[in-house]
């Protein structure tokens, strides 16, 4: 085993695919400290700038004083506090759904849903670019999993024709590495026609999309009930940590009783739940953050096209710049770091082969000056790279 692992590591390195962590020396923010220097950050999912917001910090501190740090047990034993409970009720109320259920992470929520709800006679149908946690959950599920080409409705309809007792269609609301929004109206219509259920992972939509921040369904003017299973996380726009699944009483009660990744794990700390509540409150109170983000997205796209930087068809905070080759992408990312910009290279297997990219994420906290500097440097580095090769 160890010999094979050594070989795999060496192969990764040879293909410019080795991943390395950057150790931060301060809070998540547009300006971030690492390795003794300050960087302009374009790689964070903290879309609304809440991860270091005083109200979240205060909520967490206050709750830690009252509830301590460890939650002590799983939700079903003795770890479910009134902070968790209030957060679940506030989520259900905000979304207008019957119930919501907290999970320690989004990965566990997706894995739990897909391994617990459908059985061996059912079919899970997923977009090929869905998040890894959905793919992993689908592979571990007793149900058969089929995938369709990304956002390709013909490919989707072909998979829907496969025989099954029942079908569960699963899609990211906003695709995490491309930034495009799923065609939810079309998917929902087809689900209705085929009596299939629909699950949306709205990790990158919740808090950001829609006038009230209710996510990708609100973005299209669809009711929250359009999805039978709505999942989103606190670790992105809400600036906190953890995740939830929301929907019907039957959905939530089934997950509580049968969801192994819900049952067999320690509850998130009550103080984290309290911070998530503060985040949920801020996305409702401070709509200006979404408006500011939308302005930044517009500004970025306009200026990028002036610089002839090729963009992908994304209207969201995720604005990937497709480079292709791993070595080139890595080299541009390193040069930007030299220039004081953190823009992490996203490479396979996170994205398909030959589609390595610089995944720009914009936040409400970026200024037009920040975006000016990013694009000026990015254009320069891409040009120099093309002259070299």
Ligand X SMILES: *Cc1c(COP(=O)(O)O)cnc(C)c1O
Site for ligand X in 98-127 (CB under 6 A): 105-107, 110
Determine the Cα–Cα distance for residues 118 and 113; give it in Å rounded to an integer.
8
Query: Hey, how many other C-beta atoms are within 10 angstroms of the C-beta on 196?
Result: 20
133 part of the interface to ligand X, by CB under 6 A: yes
Of 279, 290, 300, nearest to 60 by C-alpha is: 279
Question: Is residue 243 a contact point for ligand X (CB under 6 A)?
Answer: yes
The size of the chain, in residues, is 389
235 scored as a contact of ligand X (CB under 6 A):
yes
Among residues 126, 141, 233, 381, which is the contact residue for ligand X, using CB under 6 A?
233
Residues 193, 59: Cα–Cα separation, whole Å: 45
- Please report how close the Cβ of residue 204 comes to ligand X at its closest, in angstroms: 6
33 is in an annotated binding site: no
| Tokens of residue 198, six digits | 């629909």
Contact status: 87 vs ligand X (CB under 6 A): no
Catalytic residue among 75, 84, 236, 292: 236
Strand arrangement, sheet containing 243-247? 99-103, 243-247, 229-233, 197-201, 167-172, 123-127, 144-148
Closer Cβ to ligand X, 277 or 328, answer by number? 277
62 is catalytic: no
- Report whether 23 belongs to an annotated binding site: no
3-state secondary structure of 342: strand
Is 29 a known active-site residue? no
The residue (of 171 and 377) whose beta carbon lies closer to ligand X is: 171
Q: Which residue, among 58, 57, 65, 64, has the nearest Cα to 29 in the 3D structure?
A: 57
Choices 23-31, 60-68, 198-206, 305-313; region in contact with ligand X by CB under 6 A = 198-206
Active-site residue (options: 43, 104, 141, 176): 176
Peptide bond into 349 cis (omega under 30): yes
Which of 115, 126, 171, 176 forms a contact with ligand X (CB under 6 A)? 176
CB of 387 to ligand X, least distance (A): 35
Query: Smallest gap, in angstroms, from Cβ of residue 195 to ligand X?
Result: 26
The Cα–Cα gap between 117 and 108 comes to: 14
- Are the beta carbons of 388 and 318 closer than 8 angstroms? no
Residues taking part in catalysis: 176, 204, 236
In the annotated binding site for substrate, the residues are 19, 131, 350
Binding site for ligand X (CB under 6 A): 105-107, 110, 131, 133, 172, 176, 201, 203-204, 233, 235, 243
């Amino acid at each position: 085993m160890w010999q094979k692992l050594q070989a795999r590591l060496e192969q990764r390195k040879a293909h410019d695919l080795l991943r390395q962590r950057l150790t931060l020396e301060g809070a998540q923010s547009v300006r971030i400290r690492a390795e003794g220097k300050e960087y302009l950050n374009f790689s964070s999912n903290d879309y609304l700038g809440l991860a270091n917001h005083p109200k979240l910090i205060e909520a967490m501190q206050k709750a830690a004083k009252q509830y301590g740090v460890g939650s002590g047990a799983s939700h079903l034993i003795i770890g479910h506090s009134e902070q968790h409970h209030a957060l679940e009720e506030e989520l259900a109320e905000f979304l207008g759904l019957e119930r919501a259920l907290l999970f320690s992470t989004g990965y566990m929520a997706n894995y739990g849903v897909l391994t617990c709800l459908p059985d061996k006679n059912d079919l899970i149908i997923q977009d090929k670019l869905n998040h890894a946690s959905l793919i992993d959950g689908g592979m571990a599920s007793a149900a058969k999993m089929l995938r369709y080409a990304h956002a390709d409705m013909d490919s989707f309809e072909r998979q829907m024709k496969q025989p099954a007792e029942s079908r569960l269609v699963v899609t990211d609301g906003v695709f995490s590495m491309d930034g495009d929004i799923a065609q939810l109206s079309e998917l929902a219509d087809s689900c209705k026609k085929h009596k299939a259920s629909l699950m949306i992972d709205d990790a990158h939509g919740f808090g950001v999309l829609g006038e009230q921040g209710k996510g990708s369904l609100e973005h299209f003017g669809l009711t929250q009930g359009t999805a039978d299973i709505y999942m989103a996380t606190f670790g992105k726009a809400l600036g906190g940590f953890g995740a939830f699944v929301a929907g019907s009483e039957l959905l939530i009660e089934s997950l509580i009783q049968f969801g192994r990744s819900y049952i067999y794990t320690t509850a998130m700390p009550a103080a984290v739940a309290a911070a998530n509540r503060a985040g949920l409150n801020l996305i409702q109170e401070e709509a200006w953050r979404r408006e500011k983000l939308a302005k930044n997205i517009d500004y970025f796209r306009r200026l990028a096209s002036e610089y002839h930087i090729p963009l992908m068809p994304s209207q969201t905070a995720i604005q990937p710049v497709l480079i292709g080759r791993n070595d080139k992408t890595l080299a541009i990312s390193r040069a930007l770091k030299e220039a004081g910009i953190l823009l992490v290279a996203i490479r396979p297997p996170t994205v398909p082969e030959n589609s390595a990219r610089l995944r720009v994420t914009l936040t409400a906290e970026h200024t037009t000056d920040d975006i000016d500097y990013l694009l000026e440097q990015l254009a320069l580095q891409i040009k120099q790279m093309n002259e070299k090769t």
